[in-house]
Amino acid sequence: MPIHPIENRYWTDEMSKIWSEEHKLEAWLKVEDALAKAHAKLGNIPLEASKEISEKANLNYVKLERVKRIEAEINHDLMAMVKALTEACSEEAGKYVHLGATSYDIEDTALALLFKESIAIIEKGLIELKETLLNLAEAHKEAVCIGRTHGQHAVPTTYGLKFAVYACEVQRHIERLNQCKERVLVGKMSGAVGTGASFKGKALEIQKLVMDELGLKPVLASTQIVQRDRHAELIFNLALIATTLEKVAKEIRNLQRTEIAEVSEFFAAKQVGSSTMPHKRNPHKSERICGLARIVKALVYPALDNNPLEHERDLTNSAPERIIFPEAFILIDYMMKQMNSILKTLVFYPKNIERNLNLTKGLIMAEHLMIKLVEKNVGRQEAHELLRKSAIKAFNEDKPLKNILLEEGILKYLTEEELDYCLNPRNYIGEAEKIVEDVVKALRGK
Task: Name the active-site residue from 4, 76, 90, 274.
Answer: 274
Name the pairing type of β-strands 347-348 and 152-158: unpaired
Task: Report yes or no: 188 and 220 within 8 Å, Cβ to Cβ.
Answer: no
User: What is each CA distance from 304 to 163, 237, 294, 299, in whole angstroms?
Assistant: 32, 13, 16, 9
200-208 long-range contacts (CB < 8 A, ≥24 apart) are 200/44, 200/100, 202/42, 202/44, 203/100, 205/38, 205/42, 206/35, 206/38, 206/39, 206/42, 206/100
Task: Name the active-site residue from 150, 275, 279, 311.
Answer: 150
Q: What is the DSSP string of 331-374?
A: HHHHHHHHHHHHHHT-EE-HHHHHHHHTTTTTGGGHHHHHHHHH
Q: What is the CA radius of gyration of the chain?
A: 30
The DSSP 8-state label assigned to residue 199 in this structure reads G
Side chain identity at 35, as an amino acid letter? Answer: L
* 83-86-88 Cα angle (round to 5): 115
Task: Report yes or no: 222 and 190 within 8 Å, Cβ to Cβ.
Answer: yes
Nearest partner of 101 among 230, 197, 186, judged by Cα: 197
- Please give the Cα distance from 264 to 273 (Å, whole number): 13
Task: Report yes or no: 264 and 283 within 8 Å, Cβ to Cβ.
Answer: yes
Strand pairing partners for 217? 186
Side chain identity at 420, as an amino acid letter? Answer: D
- Please give the Cα distance from 427 to 412 (Å, whole number): 22
Is 274 an active-site residue?
yes
Is 98 an active-site residue?
no
- Please give the Cα distance from 303 to 230 (Å, whole number): 10
Handedness of CA 176, 319, 19, 222 (dihedral sign): positive
Name the pairing type of β-strands 217-218 and 263-264: unpaired
Active-site residue numbers? Answer: 150, 274
